[in-house]
Amino acid sequence: MDISAVNSLSYEEFVEIFGNVVEKCPLVAATVWSQRPFSSISDIETAITDFIDGLPNAGKEGILRCHPDLAGWDLQRGMLTPESQAEQSHAGLTQLEPAEAAHISALNTQYKQHFGFPFIICARMNDKPTILLQLHQRLSNKPAHELVRAIQEVKRICHLRLHGLMCHSGPSHLNSTPPKL
């Protein structure tokens, strides 16, 4: 999809296509639609990140709470978004042994109790061992630091999803390099 096609999308079409670049947050796409015309994919990404950065902490936490637990109930019930399913599969989280699943579940619970939102990491940029290591390490972060870190991960996920939509006709593209945040 090229940028002129994006700029010609109706509000409904834009939200339908871009409504999940930030997991289960079509409001983000709905908000940035009014900033058309966009000059590039980077322009869309900047509009999205500016919107997220402009939110109060409670709004940022709300965005984080829209994400599923990694290897959690949504995965087990087949209720992940197609994007999350592809991302978790890429990271090796869809084929866990029962003991691994129980371990990740316990860590996810501990993390959510400590921070009030699910552990967020760009699964497509990481593998299972790295994700587990990060989950352990980030549990010791202070809440304000972890909020910033989790939002950085949301932006990485958004970057890859945008590039998947714009450059490769779908969310399954796994090779785009996200920005350094």
Q: How far apart are CA 17 and CA 89, in angstroms?
A: 22
Per-residue model confidence as pLDDT tens for the chain (181 residues) = 999 999 999 999 999 999 999 999 999 999 999 999 999 999 999 999 999 999 999 999 999 999 999 999 999 999 999 999 999 999 999 999 999 999 999 999 999 999 999 999 999 999 999 999 999 999 999 999 999 999 999 999 999 999 999 986 544 333 444 445 5
The letter for the amino acid at 109 is T
Structure token digits, residue 158 = 């958004």
CB 63 within 8 A of CB 25: yes
Is 67 an active-site residue? yes
All domains in the chain, ordered by first residue: 3-168 (1.10.3330.10)
Catalytic, out of 67, 90, 136, 159 = 67
- Determine the Cα–Cα distance for residues 66 and 43; give it in Å rounded to an integer: 24
pTM above 0.85, yes or no: yes
**Alpha-carbon span 156 to 166, nearest angstrom:** 15
